[in-house]
Amino acid sequence: MPIKKIHVHIENARKKASIFHITQELWDAACLRHRTLARNLSVTIGWDGDMLETALKTAGMVIGVPPRRDDLRKRAPCLRWLHATSAGVDGLMPLDWLPRGVVFTNNRGAHGGKAEQYMRMALTMLNTRMPELIANQHRHHWQQLFSPDIAGKTTLIVGLGDLGEGAARAARQLGMKVIGVRRSARKSRFADSVHSYARLDALLPKADFLVLAVPLTAQTRNLLDRRRLDLLKPTAGVINIARAPVADYDALCDKLRRGELAGAVLDVVEPEPLPSGSPLWDTPNLVITPHISCDDGERYIDISLDLWFEDLARLLDGKPLKRRVNPKLGY
């Protein structure tokens, strides 16, 4: 007797980079890796809404949040689970559009491995004075700027989720002291100590490197404001792999220009793409990377679908999903 299959609709956006596209081929490969679970699924894969309204009529699960989210109760009467293919869901807040009873998850967990590698690079680049060396190369100027051992220095990481723990692993592996800050102040095996936000001001002066790895929420917006930037040592380096509005970039650039900070590596800016006229591009001792720090260029979708199947198994077992977004916290 045939069991009624669950209809999974995948909604792709062509304007996103191709590494984020869930193609039939990648879906099929994931189904092979998760055979038993995949047996009860039937899939539709849409692009830029080309089949969205039809698919929503019967879809029990949707991967990829549609740009138009009004009236979802009526448009998607069978929907039980909606999954965002990004970890940051700040652009979808507040969740007033989400029908009651629909589980909403994000893609946390897909970014830690690449984040760890990026952080190893960014930390060693700042320690090696690469921002200065890059500028010197550009102006054809040979100057031997030596640098000390990175081991023994202190990295302060704000936010200890998937990205922050990746950063902590990197810093720990480089022999650094790792101090974490997170809402819960819950310990991490990759950090020497973890504190609540109430301790942030007292910790900033200790940092040789400050890493921002928090989700953007009402609480974290402008977290690293001008006053807090002034608490950092002038020899400190700042790395942001979170979201641009978490820090006051005007104040950060002022400090870099005045030599009151050693350097910064920013993987996130606002807006993205950064306009060619932005003063950020030419700020001294600032390295900009185009929001590429945490996404695996070859396996992003493989990693993401594996995490989705992990949560599917939990859903079918009646367990709480691991990546459920808390509407109050905003992540």
Binding positions for a copy of itself, rule: CB under 8 A: 17, 19, 113-114, 117-118, 120-121, 124-125, 127-128, 130, 133-134, 136-138, 140-150, 173-174, 272-274, 276-278, 281-282, 287-292, 295-300
Task: Name the active-site residue from 83, 108, 169, 243.
Answer: 243
Task: Name the active-site residue from 39, 53, 68, 272.
Answer: 272
Least CB distance to a copy of itself at residue 20 (A): 10
* Residue 116 annotated as catalytic: no
Answer whether the bond into residue 148 is a cis peptide, omega within 30°.
no
The DSSP call for residue 247 is B
Least CB distance to a copy of itself at residue 201 (A): 29
How many CA atoms within 13 Å lie on the side-chain side of 321? 23
Instruction: Give the type of residue at 318.
Output: G
Answer whether the bond into residue 271 is a cis peptide, omega within 30°.
yes
Least CB distance to a copy of itself at residue 298 (A): 4
Least CB distance to a copy of itself at residue 134 (A): 6
When the beta carbons of 208 and 295 are compared against a copy of itself, the nearer one is: 295
* Residue 243 annotated as catalytic: yes
Q: If you write DSSP's letter for every residue of 60-108 in order, what string do you get?
A: SEEES--S--TTHHHH-TT--EEE-SSS--GGG-S-TTSPTT-EEE--T
When the beta carbons of 118 and 308 are compared against a copy of itself, the nearer one is: 118
Task: Name the active-site residue from 9, 21, 291, 323.
Answer: 291
* Residue 169 annotated as catalytic: no
Residue 196: CB atoms within 10 A of its CB come to 12
Active-site positions read 243, 272, 291
